Amino acid sequence: MDRPDGRTPGQLRPITFQPDIAPHASGSVLVSFGDTQVICAVMIEPGVPRWMLQQDVPGGWLTAEYNMLPYSTLQRKPRDISRGRLDGRSSEIQRLIGRSLRAVVDLKALGQRTMWVDCDVLRADGGTRTASITGATVAAEMAFRRLIARGEMKQSPMKQLAAAVSAGVFEDVCVLDLNYPEDKDASVDFNYVMTESLDLIEMQGSGEEATFTEAQMLEMLALSKAGVTELCRLQREALDSFDLS
């Protein structure tokens, strides 16, 4: 089976992290999964939501927003504000990003702070949610390391890195990290979010007017574990190369 871009079934697209794409943010990267590009930015502010104070909840809070810019797709995507509400897909994805980061960030160690995670899709070619989670994790750890460097935090609240990747069945073959042509025609589509130690944070998947076997499900999981292992290696490599002074 030949994939549209010539990759092997278990091969990720080229992954890159360009740091400090948003210089006013505490940490930011332009993450690329092949032709999919997402700006992930983190800002950390003092204070917590009122409900935490009212309920005497210790620690801080983390929340995420996700947006596809109008020019991120072949046909212009109207801004959500022009419709007066966030569309269902964007709402679901930003909740997923928030859940994923809260699974690996120790909110008590964050202290009385609110952490805002913004993911803005510049170019969509499949896998925008997985790229957002993977890039946002890097941006968050960048922000924490800068707070430590300034003496505002003793250690990073990041318990371990998180990364996400898609897997699916395309032309009867299980493949990793689907691009748009594959995602559009896949008979099965899954998204996996995992920790660096390969514990599952979330798994989303279904057949697209099709069914799949237990063997295919296990094969997609194995591909995704290998993919997350490589993504976390690239995250660490990128973080160690950034100037976080």
Say what the pLDDT of residue 195 is.
Answer: 98
pLDDT of residue 2: 79
Cα(91)–Cα(180) distance, rounded to whole angstroms?
21
Q: What is the pLDDT of residues 193-245, one digit of tens each?
A: 999 999 999 999 999 889 999 999 999 999 999 999 999 999 999 999 998 87
pTM of the model: 0.95
Pick the range with the lowest mean pLDDT from 72-81, 161-170, 176-185, 196-205: 72-81
Q: How confident is the model at residue 106, as a pLDDT? A: 98
Q: Whole domain around residue 186: which residue ranges?
A: 15-241
At 99, the amino acid letter reads R
Contacts 24+ apart (CB under 8 A), 180-189: 180/124, 180/125, 180/126, 181/4, 181/126, 182/3, 182/4, 182/126, 183/126, 183/127, 187/212, 188/212, 188/216, 188/220
Q: Would 221 be classed as within a structural domain?
A: yes
The number of folded domains in the chain is 1
pLDDT tens digit sequence for 96-142: 999 999 999 999 999 999 999 999 999 999 999 999 999 999 999 99
pLDDT at 184 over 80: yes
Res 207: pLDDT: 95
Q: CATH number of the domain at 90, please.
A: 3.30.230.70
Name which residue leads in pLDDT, 70 or 42. 42
Asked if residue 138 is part of any domain, the answer here is yes
Tell me, yes or no, whether 63 lies in a domain: yes
Strands 162-170 and 188-195: antiparallel
Q: Is residue 156 part of a domain?
A: yes
Confidence of residue 88 (pLDDT cuts 50, 70, 90): confident
Spatial CB neighbours of 38, under 8 Å, sequence gap ≥ 6: 30, 31, 119, 120, 121, 122, 128, 131, 132, 135
The beta strand positions in 34-161, using DSSP E, are 36-46, 61-68, 113-123
Q: Looking at the domain assignment, is residue 4 inside a domain?
A: no
Q: Do the Cβ atoms of 92 and 37 come closer than 8 Å?
A: no
Residue 6 in any domain: the answer is no
In a domain, 2, yes or no: no
84: left (phi over 0), alpha (psi -120 to 50) or beta: left
Note whether residue 137 is domain-resident.
yes
CA distance 16 to 159: 23
Average pLDDT of the residues of the chain = 95
